[in-house]
Every structure is written in C-alpha cells, then in structure tokens.
Amino acid sequence: MRTESPELAGILADLAELVCCESFSSDHEALARSAKTVAEVGRRSLGVAPETLVIDGVPHLRWVFGEPKVLLLGHHDTVWPTGTIHRIPWSVTDGVARGPGVFDMKAGLVLIFHALAALPSLEGVAVLIVGDEELGSPTSQPLIEDTARGLAATFVTEAGGENGALKIARKGISRYELLIHGRAAHAGLEPEKGVNAGVELAHQILAITEIASAVESSSQAGLLSVTPTLASAGTSTNTIPALARVAVDVRVPDLASQLRVDELMRALTPRTPGASLELQGGPNRPPFDANSSVDLFAKAVHLAAELGLPPLTGVSVGGGSDGNFTAGVGCPTLDGLGAVGGGAHADDEHVLVNRLPERARLLTALIESVLAR
C-alpha cells in the first residue's frame, strides 16, 4: 500500500488530471481542452482564474498579482499526438509516474501551482503558461518577452537535467528550409531540357555542412552545429526534379555566431546552371548565456543546502526553451526547475515522484528570495 504525504498526494492528483488531458501542439481542440484543465488546476491553488489569451487559435494562460517582480514560465503543449494516452496511460508504479507529457512538462506546471500555494502572498508574481513551446513558440514569443522584460527573475519549470540538474545555459537555435528550384523534364526522352534540383540539393547540403567550420573559433569547438536534416527532391522516378528542399538545424553558443551563420546561409549560391535558391526561416531562439543565470543558480544552491535538499548541479544544454526568450530580453533566468526524471519526447518519459515535493519547496524558496529583495 502506498503511504504518500498529503503534499505528494495533492501533487499527484493534479498531475494525473493534466496528463490525462492530452495537449498535442498541433491539435487546437486538444489545446483548448488542456487550457481549461490547467486553468482549473491553477485556480484551485491560486484562488483566481487566469486570463486566457488565444493567438492564432493557440491558448495561453496568464496570472498577474500586483506589480510583478518574478515570472513563473511553462508550457502546456506536448509533442505527443492525441490518443497516445491509450498507448502510454497515466500510471504511478514503484515511485515512477508515466504518461505523455508527464516529464516535459506537465509536472513543471503542477510544481508552479504548489510552490505558489505555499507563499503567504502572491503579490509580485506573474505566471505564464503557453501552448506552442514545442513548435518554437511562434505565437507566444512576443507575449513571453513582453511579460518578462524588466522583471527581477524568471523561473522556468522545464524538466531538470540528469538527477535534477538545473539548466544554467542553453544554445541559441535557428531553423531554416532551403528550397531549390529547377526545371522538370522527362528523364529518358529529353533530360538535357531539365534543371535537376536534386543535383543542386546535393551541392547545397555539402556547402551547408561547411558553414559551422567557417564560423566556430577554437574556443567554440563542438558548441556550434549547422546540420542538414529532412531532405527531399522530385515527384517521380522518370522526371528531372523541379523542386528540392532541405531543412537545417542550427545550434549556437552566442549571438555573434548566430548572426554569422545567418549571413552565410543567406549567401548560399546555386552551382547548377538554371537553378535558383529560396531560403526560408532564420533565428528562432537567442542563446541563453550562463551570465543570465549565475546569481540565481548560486541562490538556488544556497537555498537547497538550507532546506536539506540534495546538492544542486548546473548544466548547459543544446536544447532550447522559452527561457531563451526571457534571457534574451535581459531578465535573469534559471531553467530546469521542474521534475526529476527522464525520457523527454520518448516512450519511457517518466518522473520520480518522491522528488516532486522537494522541487516545489526549492521553487517556493527561490520566489520568496526574489520577492524579499
């Protein structure tokens, strides 16, 4: 028989409710249901309903108490297509909670609510929970930046790193799609009349793979990547391809590198006579530099020791979050304050339930420390 503390039992009840309400990023109907569920769970903890902001069909939730000094930031959308809950149902077995989105990042939302419920006053707190983070926050980026600008701190309850490590820096991200336009012709009867976009695609992929080495310095070795990913060309086996495309994923350690990569991507030129290039996309998230988190991380380490919690570590990661945006507008930001577990975006996504109360207590202490300044 499980013997949970009342605190943990409440956390798990709220987490079960959120996980069982699916919220695939591309399913606006599911997102609308999820927003209502998150709003109700938050209302029970915070005492008031949030403002619901729907932008291009995507619902975002915001609570503001007085003149805000600190922002709690998260997202309720997940990468899991609607219906995944039938294949990976909510469960808690041997101290491990599972289900789609449990780690990334529905447990983080529950921690926000329970951490805030422990405060004597919510004055000075803002909470923003967006619905499109997994897509790169196309509708919520301005909302995030406007909410965070000028605040003393943002705490992001994305999932923690290994063994709960806090995320003290993140690479910047750029996303591109390069379209190559050629001219179709019959591959057997008159191939000379075509302009082969597939051949030009091969030239461009090779050119793109050289960009990282042209930008990175010795101090950045291994920190900068420019990676062609999804690629396609043509419409049939006996037709010269008239169109080809390749997606490019860019990860950078600093803003200067991000801007230089963008310049070189826009300077690509065709090698095949008659072919033309069309570049779409650009920088998506600015780098989240460690300078943005250094003071908050030091405070978190001190508070964890005072609370008798396991020692904290910090880690820099390649993946982006909405913390990149808050750091980018100059707001001190600490990320990875969510659940301890693993398997984000994978079938073995899970949360260690016994670590949830301690993460809530740490978050409460961090918020109090900022509000007390």
Tokens of 232: 């396609």
Tokens of 42: 């938050």
Active-site position among 133, 200, 289, 349? 133
Told to judge if 210 belongs to the known catalytic residues of this protein, a careful annotator would answer: no
Give the type of residue at 155: F
Extract the runs of DSSP E, i.e. beta strands, from 131-274: 153-156, 166-170, 172-181, 225-233, 243-252
d(CA 47, CA 125): 14
Tokens of 336: 């990875």
CB 50 within 8 A of CB 157: no
d(CA 357, CA 352): 11
Active-site position among 77, 158, 322, 349? 77
Measure Cα distances from 146 to 77, 126, 150, 328, 337 in Å.
Answer: 21, 12, 9, 11, 22
Owner of token pair 């202490």? 365
Residue 52 phi/psi, 5° resolution?
A: -105, 120
Q: What is the DSSP string of 240-277?
A: --SEEEEEEEEEESSHHHHHHHHHHHHT----STT-EE
Tokens of 279: 């570049």
Residue 74 phi/psi, 5° resolution?
A: -160, -175
Told to judge if 133 belongs to the known catalytic residues of this protein, a careful annotator would answer: yes
Q: What is the dihedral of CA 86, 17, 339, 85, to 10 degrees?
A: 10
Helix axes 356-371, 294-306, angle to 10 degrees: 120
| Residue numbers annotated as active site | 77, 133
